Amino acid sequence: MIEKIDFQKSNGLIPAVIQDITTLQVLMLGYMNEEAYKKTETEQKVTFFSRTKNRLWTKGEESGNFLLVKSMALDCDEDTLLIMVEPIGPTCHKGTKTCWNEEGTTNFGLLTHLETTIKDRWESDSADSYVASLKKKGTHKIAQKVGEEAVEVVIEALRSDDNLFLEESADLLFHYLLLLKAKGYSLNDVLLVLKSRMK
């Protein structure tokens, strides 16, 4: 990739956006020259060029809070990097998870929005809420619904109607999120289990 990077566009430096590969949060923004890029690629720890110190610095060289490189991508103008990392400890020098003082919460986009909606309706106890009505019936009933939806997914997987298969899959996913809420867990808890299994 280094042959494609346009280091000359901004006087030898390019911005590098650092994103957490697990939470998908943007952690920080730094700058790299060609030497910093090569060191990052070789050592698989993010190294920047410090404009204030006028030298290379590897994030975590003093604190131990390294940014372990998982992937790097170059933008369409070939002058900005997106680096996906596994952060070791907080990223910001002030001790926070990100340089925008955000908590390290995982965001699954639409699924996180759905989890939030389920939480809100779970807590509202509205008479019109399907979530609240299942809550009143208890965890046993919610677990039963997950089982029913799982069977329907299997049945539709063996048939030829793809639309029905996707509809039943959506129902299963919704009720599974509801069951996680009933048990006091979230998708992030499941993710941590999966992460612990990765070798």
DSSP 108: -
pLDDT band per the 50, 70, 90 thresholds, residue 118: very high
Of residues 198 and 151, the one with the higher pLDDT is: 151
Rounded to whole angstroms, the Cα distance separating 59 from 19 reads 14
| Model confidence pLDDT, tens digit, residues 152-195 | 999 999 999 999 999 999 999 999 999 999 999 999 899 889 88
pLDDT band per the 50, 70, 90 thresholds, residue 127: confident
Mean pLDDT of 96-112: 82
- Please give the span between the terminal C-alpha atoms of the chain, in angstroms, as a whole number: 27
Q: Amino acid identity, residue 42? A: T
Q: What is the pLDDT of residue 104?
A: 59
pLDDT band per the 50, 70, 90 thresholds, residue 65: very high
**Which range, of 71-75, 96-100, 137-141, averages the lowest pLDDT?**
96-100
Q: What is the pLDDT of residue 105?
A: 66
Domains of the chain: 14-87 (3.10.20.810), 110-197 (1.10.287.1080)
Q: How far is CA 82 from CA 31, 93, 160, in A?
A: 11, 20, 41
The per-residue pLDDT of the chain, averaged, comes to 93
pLDDT at residue 119 tops 80 = yes
pLDDT band per the 50, 70, 90 thresholds, residue 59: very high
Measured in whole angstroms, the distance separating CA 86 from the mean position of its chain's CA atoms is 11
pLDDT at residue 42 tops 90 = yes
